[in-house]
């Protein structure tokens, strides 16, 4: 039975369930070498569209996921920010991850931080999660900075990502997490 998907806004961003209007922009984004710098390969249009289809199923099953994010002021699609349950078995599974991927023109404007904070709030207040994780390649300093800005703590539990080929420079990943109680403490400051 499908559940009602959650959509919401922040000060500058609209979090929407994926629509066909997002597909072409996401295909372009996932074929940009700068955007995909911390992934082992660019994504083909078929892979991107399959990912959108999977996200839509996630929303049908849970009501939440990696939202298509648009600028509130213009409606421009800038990427995704959201919560997901990783499909791949990881050393710390099961878990819920907060993640983001934005197109180049949206970098450096605080959108990832704004959106990830909103996702933490939703995860803890609305979904009742106990803990949320985030992880990335050790060399992805921009994403690590976002994790730190939103209050996540480095677990000092680096791991080899099983979805990245052995020996690949992006295989070593770091793990950050935040618990509900740690998040509440940050809100009370």
At 132 the pLDDT is 98
At 123 the pLDDT is 98
Count how many domains the chain has: 1
Q: Is residue 151 part of a domain?
A: yes
Q: Using CA atoms, how far apart are residues 153 and 74, in angstroms rounded to an integer?
A: 34
* CATH code of the domain containing 168: 3.40.630.30
Give the contacts of 145 (CB within 8 A, at least 6 positions apart). none
At 188 the pLDDT is 87
Q: Is residue 92 part of a domain?
A: yes
Q: What angle do CA 80, 81, 85 make, to 5 degrees?
A: 105
Which residues, given as ranges, of the chain have pLDDT below 70?
1-2
At 189 the pLDDT is 81
Q: Is residue 3 part of a domain?
A: no
Tell whether omega for the bond before 94 is within 30 degrees of 0, i.e. cis: yes
Q: Is residue 148 part of a domain?
A: yes
Q: Is residue 175 part of a domain?
A: yes
Q: Is residue 1 part of a domain?
A: no
At 1 the pLDDT is 64
Structural domain containing residue 171: 8-187
**Which pTM does this prediction carry?**
0.95
Q: Is residue 129 part of a domain?
A: yes
Q: Is residue 99 part of a domain?
A: yes
The dihedral region occupied by 173, where left means phi > 0, alpha psi between -120 and 50, and beta the remainder, is: beta
Q: Parallel, antiparallel, or unpaired for β 172-179 and 131-137?
A: antiparallel
At 163 the pLDDT is 93
Question: With DSSP H G I counted as helix, E B as strand and the rest as coil, what are the percentages for the chain, rounded to 5?
Answer: 35, 25, 40
Q: Parallel, antiparallel, or unpaired for β 159-160 and 172-179?
A: antiparallel
Q: What are phi and psi of 122, to 5 degrees?
A: -60, -45
């Amino acid at each position: 039975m499908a559940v009602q998907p959650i959509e919401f806004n922040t000060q500058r961003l609209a979090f929407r369930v994926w629509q066909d209007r997002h597909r072409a922009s996401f295909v372009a984004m996932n074929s940009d070498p700068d955007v995909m710098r911390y992934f082992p390969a660019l994504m083909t249009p078929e892979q991107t569209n399959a990912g959108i289809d999977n996200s839509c199923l996630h929303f049908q099953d849970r009501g939440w996921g990696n939202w298509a994010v648009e600028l509130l002021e213009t409606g421009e699609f800038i990427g995704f920010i959201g919560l997901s349950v990783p499909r791949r078995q990881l050393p710390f599974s099961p878990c819920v991850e907060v993640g983001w991927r934005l197109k180049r023109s949206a970098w450096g404007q605080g959108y990832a931080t704004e959106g990830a904070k909103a996702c933490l709030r939703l995860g803890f207040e609305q979904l009742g999660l106990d803990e949320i994780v985030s992880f990335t390649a050790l060399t992805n300093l921009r994403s690590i900075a976002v994790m730190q800005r939103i209050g996540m703590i480095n677990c000092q539990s680096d791991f080899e990502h099983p979805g990245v080929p052995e020996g690949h420079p992006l295989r070593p990943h770091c793990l950050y997490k935040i618990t509900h109680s740690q998040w509440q403490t940050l809100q009370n400051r």
